[in-house]
Structure 1
Amino acid sequence: MSSAVLFLKASLRNRSFLFWMVLFPALLMLIFGALYGGGGEEQKAPVFLYARGELGDVLREALNGTFDLRVVEEVRDPTAFVLNATARLRTPATLVVVNGTVVAVYSASGIWGPVVRGAVEGALYYAFYPNLNLPVNITLKVLGDGGSSTPLAMGPAIVATVLVLVEAMGAGITGTLGILSSVVSTGLNKRAAISKIGRLRLALAAVAATLLSSFVGIFAILSVAEAVHRVDVFMLVATWQLWASYMLNFLFFAGLALLLTNVVVMRKAEANTMMLVAVLLYLTFAFLTGYFIPIEVMPRDLANFALSTPTSYTAAFARSAVLGGMPPLDMLYYPATASLAVFLLGLYFFKPYSKP
């Protein structure tokens, strides 16, 4: 029993143990508790209605209380309209088009699309009651490959897009921090100082090496996507919006890595501990900003937080382009400013060694 107590005391003094056994489970409880335990009011799905006549009036009244309904006066291309609205809102938009006795529902979400279609069908059955045969044809088109209604469903092309962007986040923070931490722990940082290698040159070299090595992970992602899921990899590679989003994600997290390296250099924490902090930040952004868990299944408060992060902009920008949309370039103003600010801040405060 005494040996068990000694092992317990040793474990409690180990920062890695405390991270994985205490802090990480608590974070998971916070995240998933907020997602599935209430955590605020539910979101209202953004629904656009383009209709005229009696059916339009019925649907306008029926959908207004349940959804965030917005009536539009003109829609030339329903698919382009939904993609542009999705990019602008950064949450999947749904469009209901009424043309005579035909009602078409277009949605960028495999979750909200069927819900809206069901609401439209229910409203029309109520309007035509007691007629048991609905004299209206209702169709649903979910844009992209994510036609499933399960909460975590995404099509293979979108999955590949998300994983590429997540690769940028993970490589930026853990890769850069890993290289610089090894330089510090092996004493090469002092040799660099003796050799008069500037701190900016050292930092940029580590960032460049990490960026180049991250393309190995991208190659693996795209290879599996093409071989197993028949994703058009050439389309993804040719989508410049994806790579613009990739670079912004990478620079943001590389800047965080430079700031975390200073803690190791000043010996305020061990390299392994800061690596765990880096993993925590990486997973937090991946889970809370719509990469692994769709924003549309989050409660309103958590969704508002997700939509305030720069990574939500890059995700929406890349996804919309991959689905065939043309997201506006001004969507990148905020994430570009945030990424450059964090990266330049990391470069400014980066210190490769501390004075004794």
Structure 2
Amino acid sequence: MFKGILINNDEQGYHASMQEINDNTLPEGDVTVKVLYSTLNYKDGLAITGKAPVIRSFPMIPGIDLVGVVEHSDSNQFKAGDIVLQNGFGIGETHCGGLAQKARLKSDWLIPLPTAFTPKQSMIIGTAGYTAMLCVIALEKNGVTPDKGEILVTGANGGVGSFAISILAKLGYAVVASTGRMQEVNYLQSLGATEVIHRDTLSNPGKPMAKERWAGVVDSVGSHTLVNACASTQYGGTVAACGLAQGMDLPGSVAPFILRGITLAGIDSVMRPIADRKEAWKRLGEILEPSVFDSIAEEIKLDTVVATANQLLAGKVRGRIVVDVQAD
């Protein structure tokens, strides 16, 4: 038996709670891991509250991130005692995830913990920081360099937004942060934002084309915000889209694409090939300063995960939530 968050959908309805979980609940896999830390992401919040159909089978342990120590391995890629990291690949959705003290996983999904980070630091980064890095790499590969102009980061107080600001600023970009929480201006500026704008300037229906401003965009919001970001992106610029906090719709025009030649780069972190993951984590190790971890993260225990998930969806959480799954 081990402790974890378990989600069920049965005669009692949809419910999530911390429970003692039997090892038999764990799905098949060739590596068993003692989980040290997990995280609470927006997708985890949706899964725990049931506000979106994230979970595909029940019962399910949520948690799209984890880091831990290999207890048993039938794979020649890993051995007992190795510290491994996983982001995505369906854990917490179709395969029991990281918000528990034990996980059984497929070795093809795992990478060794990068030497630049402690286990806790890797989860402060988690899917959010790794996704932010993928977005920045997409901008770079499309020729968006610091001399081209400002980069817009939407959903700036969230995990992806916070890390995107920090990464871009460290690389020398001028970053404009968009947020609905203007009381967090000092926080965003401490991460490296040169300007902070209210999300209302982007979140309402706008014109098909607006004045050119952004050389590039990292968007975790979607819907009207993404459409307006595209409408105001410079000729030849790139918009990296990785989230849908405002919505999955895209109520816009093709005008920015065919008249300004902008690129809309979709960023998937869930099924990303291992080579891309290793590249992103290597870059994170080269770029991030240790000081960023303290300012971005808050640590909680398993017994507060469900309550914190509701706060997260209510927009009352900034930065990253790290879960110490072994703490009493």
TM-score (norm 1): 0.25
Larger of the two Rg values belongs to structure:
1
TM-score (norm 2): 0.27
- Greater share of strand residues, 1 or 2? 2
